[in-house]
Structure 1
Amino acid sequence: MTATQTPTGRLLGTWPDGSADWHAARAGRLGGSDMAAVLGRSPWTSPYRLWHLKAGRVQEEPTTPEQARGHYLEDGIRRWWGDQNPEFEISTGGTYVHAERDYQLANPDGIVLEGGEPVGILEVKTDGQDDPDTWGKSGTDEIPLYYRTQILWYLDALGLEVAHVAVLTARLEFRHYTVRYDADEAAALRFRAELFLDSLAFNAPPDFDGATSTYQTVRELHPAIDGTPVELTYAEAAAYCSAKHALEAAKERELYERSVLADRMGSAKKATYCGVTIGTRQSRGGGDPFFVAGRKLPDMPAPTAQEAEAA
């Protein structure tokens, strides 16, 4: 496979992910996974962490085992998709920027060709979550929102209309999806990207949020401990103490409700509500069964006293 040009994409190079040249190309630019973080859609990187990464105040974390797994499996998944779609050729992706918007970066896994002309992109994914609801039915466009953000950003940068997504699930099931370009969504992404880049220029980081990656970023920004005390305001001290006490109360309440459901289930394996799995009873090594919450619990307000009594 060889890299190819696209209608609006300017090819910078074809470097291995994580290499020095690859990182240099990303400096000062926003890629598809960056845009998922800008919009708060990334499960891994918060807007706060991304801002400090782009500002050069913290460093990229080492490759995770999950990322390494995806790298090793990528070629096999790509070949599977090619075998299912012999009417197309696949060119290597490479690192591109939009010909006029230099900040708009795209790293597609492949460019899909028909008759030698680029007609779309191929994105290859692995999903380690054993959850059939993470992805929609094969053949649709129902993919996780953070991947949709990434793909629309790529299509907009490259001037292409369709993305083919090949996925290997945790159950070792191949699936394929088709996502089409949406001009309104792409315009909204560019607007948010420019706001984010302006915030870098004006040294105005995003607000704190409850993401794990935000807390990790704060830890990295202040690695030293010099023993000097800091006197908090009442509002600062009260906000944390209140949150901590609420957390402990929530843990106790969750354990109470877990006991109620485990007893209600008796010897049943699964508890459901309107077809949604609320929890399952599992056992390890022949030990006593324990209750495990469902992966995607519905957001249900607590019942009123009258509703609880009626139930």
Structure 2
Amino acid sequence: MPETAPPPLAGELLGQYTPGTPEWEAARAGLCVTATEIAAIVGLSPWQSRFSLWHKKASLPTPPFEATPEMEWGTRLEDAIATKWADSHLDYLPCPTGTWQHSERTWQRATPDRLIHPNPHDVLTPTGPVAIFEAKTAATADGWGPSGSDEVPVHYRCQVTWQQDTLGLFAPAHLAVLIGGSDYREYVIEYHEADARLLRSAAEEFLASVRDGVRPPIDDSEVTYRTVKAQPAGRDDVDVEIPAELGDRYLDAVEQHRIAEAAKRQAAAEVLDQIGTGYRAVTAGRRIAYRTVRDGRTHSLTPYRQKDAA
């Protein structure tokens, strides 16, 4: 943490809004880029695609937002994670904040989970926020390095860099995560101007594409597929000619999917036959899949992810 008074922030506080309210939506709407959106622009978000975000910014139809249980519990546990961090950093307090925008680049916005302030019990410490704090939850440790490192999933690194750059709060940011409900870890993320410039450039190019009506190409993500489905309204009883290459590629993908599904079904049946009344299938000590049971009979066979199977 810095020992001297921080310079004036480059960000301006727009307000403190409750997520999901009209005021919160308005602060994130239009031709601006928030910290949770920048990863989608550079193709690194697990939740949004560049295609889906483009349609949102262009005020075109997008799939309805559906809060997942993971999102709900992430919100519910935010205070607990921040309190845990404060218990180990007694000279500082992670305080709730609101939505900020850069004072010059007003399209650049961010809503950090907390801003770290000096604890008022230490009168020698300068007042004002000194760093950004983020609280996260995760089901597994995929992408998370050891506590004390800076190894966090890349989309969170993009988010934190964007927050630091928006507020002009360049001190190392602090991120704490609760993995699987009991594995608590802390990380420190340095600000890198070169990374921030790359994100800024990508955001400006993206916003220009929205203004110019230049839609991104369709990618293979689920959210892009749902965005395409949300576009047309109604149905006309007409035939629409499509390129022969696209038609062949679609039919080939359908056939390959059918073949893959059949192969998976057969392999799963053979694995279950081998397991019998057991729980896990292993090969030379490596976990392959596990069997779930309902009402005394097999319900499903679920593969272990490679990292979890070790």
TM range (shorter): 0.7 to 0.9
| 2:3 match | none
Give 1:19 shift.
Answer: 1.8
| Partner Cα distance (2:264, 2:84) in 1 | 44
Per-residue CA shift, 1:208-246, capped at 9, x if unaligned? Answer: 011111111111111312332323332221111011111
| 1:148 match | 157
Per-residue CA shift, 1:194-215, capped at 9, x if unaligned? Answer: 1101111110011001111111
Mapped contact 1:279–1:291 kept (Cα < 8 A): no
**Could you tell me which amino acid in structure 2 is paired with residue 20 of structure 1?**
P
| 2:16 match | 14
| Partner Cα distance (1:93, 1:287) in 2 | 51
Give 1:33 shift.
Answer: 1.4
Identity of aligned residues (%): 32
**Could you tell me which amino acid in structure 1 is paired with residue 137 of structure 2?**
T
The reply on whether 1:77 has 2:68 as its aligned counterpart is no
**Could you tell me which amino acid in structure 2 is paired with residue 207 of structure 1?**
P
Give 1:17 shift.
Answer: 1.6
Give 1:138 shift.
Answer: 2.0
**Could you tell me which amino acid in structure 1 is paired with residue 249 of structure 2?**
A
- Across the aligned residues of Structure 1 and Structure 2, the Cα RMSD in angstroms comes to 2.7
Mapped contact 2:279–2:291 kept (Cα < 8 A): no
**Could you tell me which amino acid in structure 2 is paired with residue 40 of structure 1?**
G
Instruction: Go from structure 1 to structure 2 and tell me whether the alpha carbon gap of 1:5 and 1:14 turns closer, same or farther (over 3 Å shift).
Output: farther
The reply on whether 1:51 has 2:54 as its aligned counterpart is yes
Q: Could you tell me which of 57, 61, 72 is aligned with 1:68?
A: 72
SS at match of 1:117: coil
SS at match of 2:160: helix
Mapped contact 1:5–1:11 kept (Cα < 8 A): no
Q: If the length of structure 2 is used for normalisation, what is the TM-score?
A: 0.84
| 1:33 match | 36
Instruction: Go from structure 1 to structure 2 and tell me whether the alpha carbon gap of 1:59 and 1:218 turns closer, same or farther (over 3 Å shift).
Output: closer
**Could you tell me which amino acid in structure 2 is paired with residue 8 of structure 1?**
A
Provide structure 2 residue ranges, at least 5 long, that are not aligned to the other structure: 1-5, 119-124
How many pairs align? Answer: 291
Instruction: Go from structure 1 to structure 2 and tell me whether the alpha carbon gap of 1:63 and 1:291 turns closer, same or farther (over 3 Å shift).
Output: closer
| 1:126 match | 137
Instruction: Go from structure 1 to structure 2 and tell me whether the alpha carbon gap of 1:289 and 1:18 turns closer, same or farther (over 3 Å shift).
Output: closer
| 1:202 match | 212
Per-residue CA shift, 1:11-66, capped at 9, x if unaligned? Answer: 11111122212222222110111111111211111110000001100257345143
Mapped contact 2:52–2:62 kept (Cα < 8 A): no
Q: Matches of residues 204-219 of structure 1 in structure 2 within 5 Å?
A: 204-219=214-229
**Could you tell me which amino acid in structure 2 is paired with residue 23 of structure 1?**
E
